[in-house]
């Protein structure tokens, strides 16, 4: 008798546990559809990453005009756009408005400090920050692509603050 009670209690406890984990699925709230351009504008203003569009593989990139496409630079371990670089990005956006068939590849670069993996991620964030800023100025996101080179392509050699500062950059390359 005692054994039967223990078995029944065990069965009831197991059933109770199983029932507590089951339940009705929650329904997702219905959201109003937004257009892709609205999504990009909201993302640019919020600092959220914007999905990269598929780029045709036959695009040929050339060095950009140095008087328009200056490198922008970043503080150590940062990827926010400095106010001095906003002017450069505004000039790039104005040039892109006049040359609507051109595309731009934004390269993110870092100095030699940090691991390769960390610098690749930081370089990507720097390129994406420049991309978000340009999209926020009205440039179509499909015309902008990004790549990170991390610390692999230094502009300045050496282990000085001046060399490191020159290497913490976003570089722009224009499609032919």
| Alpha-carbon separation of residue 104 from 55, 68, 154, 165, 173 (angstroms) | 11, 13, 20, 23, 6
Rounded CA gap, 76 and 158, in Å? Answer: 16
Task: Evaluate whether 50 touches 43 at the Cβ level (below 8 Å).
Answer: yes
Pairing mode, strands 144-150 and 61-63: unpaired
Domains of the chain: 62-175 (3.30.1330.60)
Q: How confident is the model at residue 64 (pLDDT cuts 50, 70, 90)?
A: low
- Region 148-170 average pLDDT: 95
What sign has the CA pseudo-torsion 87, 101, 49, 37?
Answer: positive
Please state the pTM of the whole predicted model: 0.66
| pLDDT tens track for 130-151 | 999 999 999 999 999 999 999 9
Residue 3: Cβ within 10 Å count: 7
Which tens digit of pLDDT belongs to each residue from 5-56? 555 455 555 555 444 555 544 444 445 454 454 455 455 445 555 454 444 4
């Amino acid at each position: 008798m005692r054994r039967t009670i223990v078995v029944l209690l065990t069965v009831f406890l197991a059933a109770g546990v199983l029932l507590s984990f089951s339940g009705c699925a929650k329904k997702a709230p219905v959201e109003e559809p937004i257009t892709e351009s609205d999504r990009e504008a909201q993302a640019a203003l919020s600092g959220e990453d914007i999905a990269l569009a598929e780029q045709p593989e036959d695009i040929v990139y050339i060095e950009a005009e140095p008087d328009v496409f200056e490198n922008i630079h970043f503080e150590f371990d940062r990827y926010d756009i400095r106010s001095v670089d906003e002017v450069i990005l505004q000039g790039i956006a104005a040039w892109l408005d006049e040359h609507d068939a051109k595309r731009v590849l934004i390269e993110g670069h870092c100095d030699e400090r940090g691991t390769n993996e960390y610098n690749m991620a930081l370089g990507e964030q720097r390129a994406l920050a420049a991309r978000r800023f340009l999209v926020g100025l009205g440039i179509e996101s499909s015309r902008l692509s990004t790549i990170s080179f991390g610390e692999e392509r230094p502009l300045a050699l050496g282990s000085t603050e001046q060399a490191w500062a020159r290497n913490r950059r976003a570089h722009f390359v224009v499609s032919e």
